[in-house]
Structure 1
Amino acid sequence: MQIWGKFFGGVIGFMFGRIAGAILGIWLGHQFDKRMSEAPQGMQERQALFFNTTFAVMGHMAKASGRVTENDIRMANALMDNLRLDGDARREAQAAFRRGKASDFDLQAHLRSFRDLTMGRREVQIMFLEIQIQTALSDGDLHPREYAILQTIANRLGFSQAQLDAMLARWQAETRFQGAANNGPSLSDAYRVLGVEESTSDQELKRAYRKLMAENHPDKLVAKGLPQEMMEIAKRKAQDIQVAYDKVKSARGMR
């Protein structure tokens, strides 16, 4: 199943919450898939494992609160739609989601395999964790068992408690940030997008901004393994960071 590029590109667009971004991501990912069509069998197996683990853990997360809600199903279907999964590929994703809901689902074993698969590719691990965060928050609330699963995922992938909590806060802020009305995003959400407190000094704010921009610089992401064609998507992320920084700078009267 040669869908690594489409999956990667589609998920990036999906996480931005922009239909245009998802479509662009899928198209760019398709170009990557074409280049990978001659990849060794081992590569294809790793791609399939990434795909199945993502949807299986989504299913497990959805069941954590006691029952799978319409929001959970809608979110899983939205990701499948954004990835344009149909036929066997969609049935495989649905089967993985159902396996994750089973009472005997072995989360630890799946996370061990996923950790070995990603081999330190932090941007892929972050993407995986953010998908699960969105699943947990799909109903607007974070159930204690959902949080416990997120803690397990974060711990297994090497993220600290503080990093997980920061990702939760930042994801919620970015969602509000992108959906802000004509008055623009709130100042508090701008701080959260930048990952800093309102009490942060101007110097610390600049350092945080520069660090985020460096981490999300398209050239750097390409060097870490992202296809060259995904630069436009990476630029969208950098734009959100820039807008947040400009808003905070204006509020502080910084130059």
Structure 2
Amino acid sequence: MWGKLLGTCFGFMFGRWLGAALGFYLGHLFDKGLKQDFDKVGGFNAFSRGDDLHERQALFFSSCFAVMGHIAKSNGRVSEIHIQAASAFMDEMALHGEDRKEAQRAFNAGKAAEFSLKEAVQDVREAFGRRYDLLQLFLEIQIQMAYSDGHLAAQEQALIQQVSKYLGISHSHFLFVLKRYQAEFQFRAQQQAYRQSQQQHSQQSHHHHSQQQQHNRSQAQTSANSRGQALAVLGLADGANEKDIKRAYRKLMSQHHPDKLVSQGLPPHMMELAKKKSQDIQAAYEFLKKAS
């Protein structure tokens, strides 16, 4: 409103009615941009809820581990792999003492028969309003837990899809995020295998010429597969050009920027998760730059 009002006044002063019309239009663009920035940090709801950063961080933390526990028990019992994955999360966040006990309590609460997935996730959605990047990270963390054994069971996918729905994320975007994480998982595994192969090859430099040719063919195939996975990490198809790659990379890096997510309510302990996401996106982008 103020942008249109001031723009009209100044425009009239310098250009009479034509200037006023132009000033009104420029003021409208200013108001629109200001509103979008205001909405991103929660809008007026942030004031009406008495939006306290520490309270939001505590809610994100406990809800995240509770939902992880619920998903881990989707097939009736929590497997050793899921327990190890939850412990790995805690290690990655350097959780010790009371913080680790709180994460364990939340994880166990999510396994309880009386746990309400809908209520827990909707509380997160209500608390974080229009902080879409943070809601998406919450979903990605649950996908990572379900995918900890390298396989996504039907029950796990159904639960994650419910989480996505309760967060207000569309079905099409859920499929996009799921596909992107699967590509991220596979790309990381391929890169590790490639590095191991390179190390083994350098240690066996006395191999015959035929073995060298076989290694080169294998390396070329790995590179081709990795390019497809790297594109998928950025949410792109095989036909993406350099401009598409750069645009997707910048958008994803902005969405997963740790400092921005912490300012929106991501617990500082979970900053390492956001950093890891950013590193995977960066690795995929750097691979594609070298491959081009």
Q: What is the TM-score of this pair, normalised by structure 2?
A: 0.61
- Answer 1 or 2: which has greater helix percent: 2
Displacement of 1:66 in angstroms is: 1.9
1: CA distance, partners of 2:184 / 2:176: 12
Displacement of 1:165 in angstroms is: 1.9
What SS does structure 1 have at the residue aligned with 2:156?
A: helix
79 and 211 in structure 1: CA distance in 2 versus 1, 3 angstrom threshold: same
Identity within the alignment, %:
36
Displacement of 1:90 in angstroms is: 1.1
Matching of residue 135 in structure 1 with residue 178 in structure 2: no
Displacement of 1:54 in angstroms is: 0.4
Could you tell me which of 164, 176, 190 is aligned with 1:166?
176
Residue 211 of structure 1 aligns with an amino acid whose one-letter code is R
225 and 124 in structure 1: CA distance in 2 versus 1, 3 angstrom threshold: closer
Matching of residue 103 in structure 1 with residue 113 in structure 2: yes
User: Is the contact between residue 233 and residue 281 of structure 2 (CA under 8 Å) also seen in structure 1?
Assistant: no
Residue 153 of structure 1 aligns with an amino acid whose one-letter code is V
Displacement of 1:75 in angstroms is: 0.7
Instruction: Provide the residue aligned with 1:213 in structure 2.
Output: 249
Residue 289 of structure 2 aligns with an amino acid whose one-letter code is D
Displacement of 1:118 in angstroms is: 1.7
**How many aligned residue pairs are there?**
204
User: Is the contact between residue 214 and residue 220 of structure 1 (CA under 8 Å) also seen in structure 2?
Assistant: no
Instruction: Provide the residue aligned with 1:73 in structure 2.
Output: 83
Matching of residue 152 in structure 1 with residue 155 in structure 2: no
CA RMSD, 1 decimal: 3.0
Deviations 1:226-247 (A, max 9, x none): 56xx8x9486355224224336
Displacement of 1:206 in angstroms is: 3.9
Q: What is the TM-score of this pair, normalised by structure 1?
A: 0.69
Deviations 1:72-94 (A, max 9, x none): 00011111112221222111111
219 and 128 in structure 1: CA distance in 2 versus 1, 3 angstrom threshold: closer
User: After the TM superposition, which residues 88-99 of structure 1 pair with which residues of structure 2 at under 5 Å, given as runs?
Assistant: 88-99=98-109
Q: Which has the larger radius of gyration?
A: 2
220 and 187 in structure 1: CA distance in 2 versus 1, 3 angstrom threshold: closer
